[in-house]
């Protein structure tokens, strides 16, 4: 069966455009910057350098997050089930996933794995198997960060409801992401809610957003889990 995102790959930016999303922040630069900021701050709090860390972005799509963040990491790689999406990643270290549940890298290869807005496109029956394979490619004590749309945020729900690439999306609550992490033997380290303020306000209210990070209402959330086994 053809991967869903092969249908959207050619005009992905156009399919993702939404007036409400654009009024929050035009284009994708702010959304990418906030995610890289979250990852770097998480590592900084643990007194760990990202510069020596190897990072894999599962469901990397057209590679935007990798392009934005790779300069902060020792190694940055990606994989996706959609060959159409990966066609835009020529200069990046990316691999095609032959199966939606198999990460095409060696066991124990990465210090950090991210999956950003991927799991709401993964069939419920495949989710735990993919979590387990993500855990397989992590080194012991490696970190998995899943970032997802927050179903408790009404603006997020509205954008998802009208976005053509999300017609088959099934949003995951942070609790579901935490439960899936625990079910494959990972330990939950943190849950952070973000994207409370549009870009123009965030520049003034970054410290308020940081204080709201435990309130489950931000536009998206990040769950950080650690492979302990």
Ligand X SMILES: C[S@@+](CC[C@H](N)C(=O)[O-])C[C@H]1O[C@@H](n2cnc3c(N)ncnc32)[C@H](O)[C@@H]1O
Among positions 66, 97, 174, 186, the unique one binding ligand X when judged by CB under 6 A: 97
Q: Nearest distance from residue 52's CB to ligand X, in Å?
A: 24
Interface stretch with ligand X, choices 59-67, 154-162, 172-180, 186-194 (CB under 6 A): 59-67
Q: Is 60 in the site for ligand X (CB under 6 A)?
A: yes
Identify the CA nearest to 109 among candidates 95, 123, 126, 129.
Answer: 95
Q: Is 31 helix (H, G, I), strand (E, B) or coil?
A: helix
CA distance 224 to 229: 16
Instruction: Give the integer Cα–Cα distance in Å for 178 and 194.
Output: 17
What's the rounded Cα separation, in Å, for the pair 185 and 179?
A: 10
d(CA 10, CA 2): 15
Give the separation between CA 32 and CA 223, rounded to whole angstroms.
17
Q: Closest residue to ligand X, Cβ-based?
A: 61
The bridge status of strand 220-227 relative to strand 186-194 is: antiparallel
Query: What does the per-residue mask of binding to ligand X show for 137-166, with x meaning CB under 6 A?
Result: ------------------------------
List the x/- string, 103-142, binding to ligand X by CB under 6 A. Answer: -------------xxx--xx-------x------------
3 binds ligand X per the rule CB under 6 A: yes
Binding residues (CB under 6 A) for ligand X: these are: 3, 5, 58-61, 64-65, 80-82, 85, 97, 100, 116-118, 121-122, 130
């Amino acid at each position: 069966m053809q991967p869903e995102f092969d249908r959207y790959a050619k005009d992905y930016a156009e399919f993702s455009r939404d007036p409400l999303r654009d009024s929050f922040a035009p284009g994708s630069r702010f959304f990418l910057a906030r995610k890289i900021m979250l990852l770097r701050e998480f590592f900084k709090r643990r007194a760990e350098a990202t510069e020596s860390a190897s990072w894999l972005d599962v469901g990397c799509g057209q590679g935007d997050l990798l392009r934005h963040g790779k300069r902060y990491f020792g190694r940055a790689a990606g994989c996706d089930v959609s060959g159409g999406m990966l066609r835009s990643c020529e200069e990046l270290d990316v691999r095609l996933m032959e199966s939606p549940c198999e990460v095409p890298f060696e066991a124990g290869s990465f210090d950090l794995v991210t999956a950003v807005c991927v799991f709401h496109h993964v069939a419920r029956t495949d989710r735990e198997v993919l979590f387990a394979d993500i855990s397989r490619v992590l080194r012991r004590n490696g970190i998995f960060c899943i970032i997802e749309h927050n179903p408790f945020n009404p603006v997020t729900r509205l954008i998802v409801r009208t976005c053509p690439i999300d017609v088959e999306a099934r949003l995951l609550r942070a609790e579901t992401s935490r439960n899936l992490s625990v079910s494959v033997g990972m330990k939950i380290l943190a849950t952070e809610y973000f994207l409370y303020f549009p870009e123009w306000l965030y520049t003034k209210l970054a410290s308020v957003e940081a204080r709201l990070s435990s309130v489950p209402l931000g536009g998206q959330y990040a769950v950080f889990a650690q492979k302990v086994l």
